Amino acid sequence: LVVQSLTRRWLCAQRLKSAQLIALWCQGAYQGARVRNKVAFQYYCATRIQAAFRGFFAVLAFMGSLRKIILVQSIWRMKRHRKTHITWRLQKQTEIKVILTQSIVRRWIAKKSYRQRRESKAALMIQKNFRRHSAMLKVLVTVLDVIQCQAV
């Protein structure tokens, strides 16, 4: 009886150890799974946070480069506008100079033709007066000749 009691006690102790080991293994597996799930969740959260920060920093970098691009475009457009404005202004000044030159030439031609007309009128007047004067002289000479002839 004592041996049976000792054997049963030893078997109970072995079963208890075995049950404790199984319980420890189950607890370890459960807590390991819980920790793994918690770590996996933390990794997931960390990944989402990193993605959000990377996206934010990418937007900041994009906005910075966009500002630089807009600045370069603005400078380029301003330079192009100034260049076209200067070209337009030079063309306008050239047109004004051409118009002024044309008006000066036209005025000179008008003055020249007016002067020529006046000179030709003056020459005609001189010729007319000279012919009248010479005709009057002839008439006077003829009258004087007639008077002399009658006086003789």
- Provide the token pair at 5: 């009691």
For residue 94, give the amino acid letter: T
Read off the pLDDT of residues 50-103 as tens digits, 9 standing for 90 and up: 999 999 999 999 999 999 999 999 999 999 998 888 888 889 999 999 999 999
Read off the pLDDT of residues 99-116 as tens digits, 9 standing for 90 and up: 999 999 999 999 999 988
3 state SS of 148? helix
Whole-angstrom CA distances from 125 to 18, 111, 122 are 155, 20, 5
Read off the pLDDT of residues 132-145 as tens digits, 9 standing for 90 and up: 999 999 998 888 88
Q: What are residue 20's phi and psi, to 5 degrees? A: -65, -40
Q: What is the DSSP letter of 152?
A: -
- Provide the token pair at 123: 């020459």
User: What distance in Å separates the CA atoms of residue 80 and residue 68, rounded to the nearest whole number?
Assistant: 18
| pLDDT, average across residues 120-139 | 90
Give the rounded distance of the alpha carbon of 36 from its chain centre. 59
For residue 142, give the amino acid letter: T
User: What distance in Å separates the CA atoms of residue 87 and residue 80, rounded to the nearest whole number?
Assistant: 10
